[in-house]
Chains A and B, each alone.
Chain A
Amino acid sequence: QQQVKQSPQSLIVQKGGISIINCAYENTAFDYFPWYQQFPGKGPALLIAIRPDVSEKKEGRFTISFNKSAKQFSLHIMDSQPGDSATYFCAASDMSGAGSYQLTFGKGTKLSVIP
């Protein structure tokens, strides 16, 4: 049972364009939503994260939009650059309970930014 659904599986964007990756979750106990970026041959690294008490968080060119009622969140990459080409994973966890150490990952989106 996949608790975090991520789409699209792959994405090709022109340099300077906006990349949008969407995730939906089922577990209403989730209250921490990080995005990880993974380059080929490397481990995932935290990119940006949000808690559900805000609807948007922006760090540089990266923005998370969060819709609690729809149980959806998305990553927007503005002015996408070839260096942003990587696999992006959304994740979710319940930070309040006994399972607060466990991240549930989406299946990943391979982003290719073409010049």
Chain B
Amino acid sequence: DTAVSQTPKYLVTQMGNDKSIKCEQNLGHDTMYWYKQDSKKFLKIMFSYNNKELIINETVPNRFSPKSPDKAHLNLHINSLELGDSAVYFCASSLFLSTDTQYFGPGTRLTVL
């Protein structure tokens, strides 16, 4: 009974391709996030959705487009992949405006060749 799951776990692709990462949570949370962790382990938020509405959109290239079909799912689509997109992408979820913390998924390691 995984709380926050992501697919795929590993993604290897060529520059210029388009790829998607899927995330699902079964915690009943209403807010979901995408983080990028670079090779130096720095965690940076990219997007956040609350009840399917975008509430955080950090300075991220518009090649990255999140989509939330419902509050249990948040997918990340990346167009025209570049070498610098190689990183580990984490999905997380929480309750909005709550002292409860964010729960992270296992991550998707994206390698762009």
Q: Which residues from chain A sit less than 8 Å from chain B, CB to CB?
A: 32, 34, 36, 38, 41-46, 49, 51, 87, 89, 95, 100-103, 105, 107-108, 110
Interface of B is mostly: strand
Which of B12-20, B66-74, B79-87, B89-97 contacts the other chain?
B89-97
Q: Report yes or no: B42 in contact with A108, Cβ–Cβ below 8 A.
A: yes
Known: A42-B107, A43-B90, A43-B104. A105 touches B43 (CB 8 A): yes
How far is A105 from B40 in the complex, measured between Cα atoms in Å? 13
Q: Report yes or no: B107 in contact with A46, Cβ–Cβ below 8 A.
A: no
Interface residue from A44, A51, A100, A107 paired with B90 (Cβ < 8 Å): A44
How far is A111 from B6 in the complex, measured between Cα atoms in Å? 27
Asked if B27 is at the interface (CB within 8 A of a chain A CB), the reply is no
28 A-B residue pairs with CB within 8 Å: A34-B101, A36-B104, A38-B41, A41-B106, A43-B4, A43-B106, A43-B107, A44-B43, A44-B90, A45-B103, A46-B101, A46-B102, A89-B43, A95-B99, A101-B33, A101-B50, A101-B55, A101-B94, A101-B96, A101-B97, A103-B102, A105-B42, A105-B43, A105-B44, A107-B40, A107-B41, A108-B41, A110-B41
Interface residue from B40, B41, B43, B48 paired with A101 (Cβ < 8 Å): B48
Q: Which residue of B lies closest to A99 (CB)?
A: B56
Asked if B75 is at the interface (CB within 8 A of a chain A CB), the reply is no
Chain B contacts of A102 at CB under 8 A?
45, 48, 56
Interface residue from B41, B56, B94, B104 paired with A45 (Cβ < 8 Å): B104
